[in-house]
């Protein structure tokens, strides 16, 4: 490090706020701070600005319908089609030859789909799906990695009005079956396999195993041949080769089905506090308007940009900000199949340079990994095409923020730290990059029109400088409408905590803790429920516990999150072996395998701690907080209310000994 650099590092380390560069402000999509007042004074009509970013087949009559709150409806009476908004209108408006998706395969192959190409592919696959018998409102499950056929299938479903339910490819066979069962989904689109670090991975065998546990009849399965000769599978009777199907329908036109604004666009299952994942329902009008609006206002996306969100489409971030938001705005969205360290740790920066990426959006866990690998990797590349950086999924520590700002953004790109959730559909709390000062570690103020507040346990707004619970006190267009087939759970999970139901005043509770400062900036502290956030991915401790308890030789288990340098949080499992079983390497291996089978490798415990007892209160409740403190190596809190306080020291000694 040169002396000059050392000086800069030291200055950055102390700097607590950053102004957006003038060069950015001058060209920003949104740069007038009057927008905050304008949205407040004109709420909910302000959301017409979001709806105006879309083309409607039929105009809506009402912006917000709240008769049946909290089952809100947005843009009621309006009709539109999401695939027409993401494709047809751009083709008609002269962007036929603009790249819509640029795909970078892990082995170095590339594919570019212009808006014209993408429409052609989507129509062919939409025709194929219809031919198989898929009808409007049938849920089609997509179990696919980061290959172009995934967004093609999503848009084909949207075109014919069939909601999709994407299951992250890293999830296990069991997880696939649970989601297909919950959604009663009779159609699956998957692939033979994909590449990871240069190796061909089998995916279809996992899909087939999952299909074996689907309780209803599955009509058809479509299999994309990603691996060619690298892997051969025999297809079962109801399984079709994607390429053959599409070839049979090439050149067909499929008129986009006009959907009601409130018709379901997709379902996305996310982890909750029970073992059963929650089927979050998003709609066509509100969701698409909201993702388009936030892509415009926060990500500053412009049609001529090359925009890269390095998430996986299997999670909400990929749905909203790789597929729907950017394509609705007619930009070029980059999709990368592989891992950031293959073939070398400069892969991301190589792709930024090669594609002249303007906007880059990723998770803090990735930034912490880049930081650990060192600056030599970004330094190898010219990253001057970048204009804006973003983060999502978990809190970002100021050190990682500053590293990102300096070494990736070259001190010239604003960073948006965006707080939101699967349920919110799009960003909720973040700075607007052309307007706000940035404070590393703090997401920012609520977006215009978003009434997010930090409250205490009684629901009273806390004073600046204090911590409490994050709430959202007015509805917004991108919000989930319900949990699929489970209105009661929707009410219980999100609305019962702080609403005054008699007064018909509804407060959404995202189950995050947060702090607010004197400028109204919100720092999100993390989940307050039994959900842990590993590398930006939500995992329910109950789901993991039930997988562990299902392992032979396990009597009882408690799973908590503990601090982790790269992942943010990691899974810690405290396990009581059954009588006659030894807690040792064999049982640990069986537990890890059980978790991978039930959920997937992302949920694999970082550490399995065997113990004869778990710390419990006198009423028999496991004291998870103490287990969390042990996992994070924090000072241990009060143990006097425990029935068995002595066990805490024993467990702590065991963990620290490891
Ligand atoms: C956490 C991902 C701090 C939070 C889009 C939330 C964050 C959960 C941030 C949702 C952020 C997301 N700062 N925490 N910028 N963004 N979170 O549903 O705990 O996978 O409730 O959606 O991630 O995770 P989900």
Tell the residue nearest (CA) to atom 10 of ligand 1: 421
- Predicted confidence at residue 2, as pLDDT, reads 53
Three-class SS of residue 378?
A: helix
Q: Quote the percentage of the chain above a pLDDT of 70.
A: 99
4 pLDDT above the threshold of 60: no
User: What tokens appear for 165 in the block?
Assistant: 């339910």
Our mutation pick for probing the ligand 1 site, out of 320, 368, 425, 533, counting the most ligand atoms within 8 A of Cβ, is 533
Closest CA relative to residue 500, chosen from 468, 523, 532, 471? 471
- Mutational pocket test of ligand 1: of 270, 295, 324, 419, the residue with most ligand atoms within 8 Å of the beta carbon: 419
Among positive and negative, which fits the CA dihedral 56, 60, 66, 67?
negative
Residue-wise pLDDT for 290-335, tens only, equals 999 999 999 999 999 999 999 999 999 999 999 999 999 999 999 9
Q: Specify the 3-state DSSP secondary structure of 461.
A: strand
**DSSP letter at 47?**
G
Q: Is 362 in the pocket of ligand 1 (CB under 6 A)?
A: no
For residue 3, the model assigns a pLDDT of 55
Residue 637 maps to which CATH number?
3.30.300.30
Is the pLDDT confidence value at 5 over 70? no
Which residue's CA is minimally distant from atom 11 of ligand 1?
Answer: 419
- Return the best residue to mutate from 314, 417, 428, 538 for the ligand 1 pocket (most ligand atoms within 8 A of CB): 538
Give the rounded percent of residues in the chain with a pLDDT score beyond 90. Answer: 89
Residue 317 lies inside a defined structural domain of this protein: no
pLDDT tier, 433 (very low <50, low <70, confident <90, very high otherwise): very high
* Residue 392 CA, ligand 1 centroid: distance in Å: 7
Atom of ligand 1 nearest to the CA of 270: 18
Which residue has its alpha carbon closest to ligand 1 atom 15?
A: 419
Which of 230, 257, 284 is where one domain is finished? 257
Ligand 1 atom having least distance to the Cα of 525: 3
Atom of ligand 1 nearest to the CA of 531: 19
Does the C-beta of 312 come closer than 6 Å to ligand 1? no
In tens, the pLDDT along 91-129 reads 999 999 999 999 999 999 999 999 999 999 999 999 999
Ligand 1: atom nearest CA of 417 is 15
* 505-557 pLDDT tens trace: 999 999 999 999 999 999 999 988 889 999 989 999 988 998 999 999 999 99
Among candidate residues 236, 257, 278, the one where a domain is terminated: 257
Q: Which of 228, 257, 286 is the last residue of a domain?
A: 257
417 lines ligand 1 (CB under 6 A): yes
pLDDT of residue 529: 87
Q: What is the pLDDT of residue 196?
A: 92
Residue located nearest, by CA, to atom 8 of ligand 1: 421
pLDDT band at 621 (very low <50, low <70, confident <90, very high): confident
**Gap from CA of 624 to ligand 1 centroid (Å):** 21
pLDDT digit string (tens) for 141-152? Answer: 999 999 999 999
Looking at residues 272-279, what average pLDDT do you find? 84
The answer to the question of residue 328 being in a domain is no
Q: Judge if the beta carbon of residue 533 lies within 6 A of ligand 1.
A: yes
For residues 28 and 33, give the distance between their C-alpha atoms in angstroms, rounded to a whole number: 12
Q: Long-range contact list for 224-228, CB < 8 A, 24+ apart?
A: 224/144, 224/147, 224/149, 224/189, 224/190, 224/191, 224/192, 225/191, 225/192, 226/145, 226/147, 226/191, 226/192, 226/193, 226/194, 227/192, 227/193, 227/194, 227/195, 227/200
Top mutation candidate among 269, 364, 420 for ligand 1, by most atoms within 8 Å of CB: 420
Q: 524 in ligand 1 pocket by Cβ < 6 Å?
A: yes
Confirm if 516 and 454 have CB atoms less than 8 A apart: yes
Question: Number of structural domains, the chain?
Answer: 2
Residue nearest to atom 6 of ligand 1 (CA): 421
- Looking at residue 658, its pLDDT comes to 61
> For position 182, which CATH number holds?
3.40.50.980
Task: Provide the pLDDT for residue 1.
Answer: 47
Does residue 279 lie in a domain region? no
- Residue 521 is assigned to a structural domain of this protein: no
Instruction: Say what the pLDDT of residue 10 is.
Output: 78
| Least confident among 166-170, 387-391, 585-589, 652-656 | 652-656
Nearest CA to ligand 1 atom 12: 393
298 lines ligand 1 (CB under 6 A): no
Q: 207-252, pLDDT tens digit by residue?
A: 999 999 999 999 999 999 999 998 989 999 999 999 999 999 999 9
pLDDT of amino acid 77? 98
**Cα 158 to averaged position of ligand 1 atoms, centre (Å):** 26
- Tell me what the pLDDT averaged over the chain comes to: 95
Domain residues for the domain of 653 are 530-657
Where do the DSSP E strands lie in 423-567? 452-455, 467-472, 512-516, 522-527, 531-534, 537-540, 554-564
Token pair listed for 117: 């190409």
pTM of the model: 0.94
Segments of 565-634 assigned E as strands = 568-577, 607-610
Q: Are 446 and 463 contacting, i.e. CB atoms less than 8 angstroms apart?
A: no
Tell me, yes or no, whether 46 lies in a domain: no
Decide if 352 is inside a domain.
Answer: no
Q: Is residue 197 part of a domain?
A: yes
Determine the distance separating the centroid of ligand 1 and the alpha carbon of 124, expressed in angstroms: 36
Ligand 1 binding pocket includes 420 (Cβ within 6 Å): yes
Residue 575 lies in a domain: yes
């Amino acid at each position: 490090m040169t002396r000059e650099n050392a000086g800069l590092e030291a200055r950055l380390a102390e700097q607590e706020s950053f102004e957006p560069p003038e060069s950015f402000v001058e060209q920003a999509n949104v740069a007038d701070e009057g927008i905050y007042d304008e949205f407040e004074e004109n709420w909910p009509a302000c959301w017409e600005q979001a709806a105006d970013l879309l083309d409607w087949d039929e105009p809506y009559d009402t912006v917000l319908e709240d008769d049946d709150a909290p089952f809100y409806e947005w843009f009621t009476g309006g009709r539109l089609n999401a695939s027409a908004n993401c494709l047809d209108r751009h083709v008609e408006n002269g962007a036929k030859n603009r790249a819509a998706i640029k795909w970078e395969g892990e082995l170095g192959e590339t594919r570019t789909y212009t808006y014209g190409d993408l429409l052609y592919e989507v129509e062919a696959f939409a025709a194929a799906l219809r031919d198989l018998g898929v009808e409007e409102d049938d849920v089609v499950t997509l179990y696919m990695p980061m290959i172009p056929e995934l967004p093609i299938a999503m848009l084909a479903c949207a075109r014919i009005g069939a909601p999709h339910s994407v299951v992250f490819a890293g999830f296990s066979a069991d997880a696939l079956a649970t989601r297909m069962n919950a959604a009663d989904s009779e159609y699956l689109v998957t692939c033979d396999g994909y590449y990871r670090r240069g190796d061909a991975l089998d995916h279809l065998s996992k899909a087939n195993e999952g299909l074996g546990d689907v309780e209803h009849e599955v009509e058809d399965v479509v299999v994309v041949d990603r691996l060619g000769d690298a892997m051969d599978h025999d297809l079962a009777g109801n399984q079709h080769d994607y390429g053959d199907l599409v070839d049979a329908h090439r050149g067909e036109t499929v008129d986009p089905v006009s959907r009601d604004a409130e018709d379901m666009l997709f379902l996305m299952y996310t982890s909750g506090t029970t073992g059963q994942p929650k089927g979050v329902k998003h709609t066509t009008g509100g969701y698409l308007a909201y993702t388009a609006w936030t892509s415009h206002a926060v990500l500053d996306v412009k049609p001529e940009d090359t925009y890269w969100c390095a998430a996986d489409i299997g999670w909400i971030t990929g749905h909203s900000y790789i597929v729907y938001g950017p394509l609705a705005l007619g930009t070029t969205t980059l999709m990368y199949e592989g891992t950031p360290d293959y073939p070398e740790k400069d892969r991301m920066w190589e792709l930024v340079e090669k594609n002249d990426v303007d906007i880059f959006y990723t998770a803090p866990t990735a930034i912490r990994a880049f930081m650990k690998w060192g600056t030599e990797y970004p330094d190898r590349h010219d990253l001057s095409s970048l204009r804006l950086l973003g983060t999502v999924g978990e809190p970002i520590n100021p050190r990682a923020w500053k590293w990102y700002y300096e070494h990736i953004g070259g001190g010239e790109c604003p960073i948006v730290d965006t707080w939101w959730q699967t349920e919110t559909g799009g960003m909720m709390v973040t700075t607007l990059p052309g307007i706000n000062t940035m404070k590393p570690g703090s997401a920012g103020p609520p977006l215009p029109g978003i009434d997010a507040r930090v409250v205490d346990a009684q629901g009273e707004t806390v004073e600046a400088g204090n911590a409490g619970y994050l709430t959202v006190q007015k509805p917004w267009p991108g919000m989930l409408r319900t949990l699929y087939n489970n209105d009661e759970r929707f009410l219980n999970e999100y609305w019962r905590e702080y609403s005054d139901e008699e007064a018909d005043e509804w407060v959404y509770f995202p189950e995050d803790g947060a702090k607010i400062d004197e400028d109204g900036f919100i720092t999100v502290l993390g989940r307050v429920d039994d959900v842990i956030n590993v590398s930006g991915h939500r995992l329910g401790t109950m789901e993991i516990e039930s997988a562990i308890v299902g392992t032979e030789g396990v009597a009882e288990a408690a799973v908590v999150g503990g601090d982790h340098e790269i992942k943010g949080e990691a899974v810690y499992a405290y396990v009581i072996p059954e009588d006659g079983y030894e807690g040792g390497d064999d049982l640990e291996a069986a537990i890890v395998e059980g978790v991978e089978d039930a959920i997937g490798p992302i949920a694999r415990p970082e550490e399995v701690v065997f113990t004869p007892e778990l710390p419990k209160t006198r009423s028999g409740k496991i004291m998870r907080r103490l287990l969390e403190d042990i996992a994070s190596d924090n000072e241990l809190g009060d143990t006097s209310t425990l029935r068995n306080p002595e066990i805490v020291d024993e467990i702590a000694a065991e963990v620290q000994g490891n």
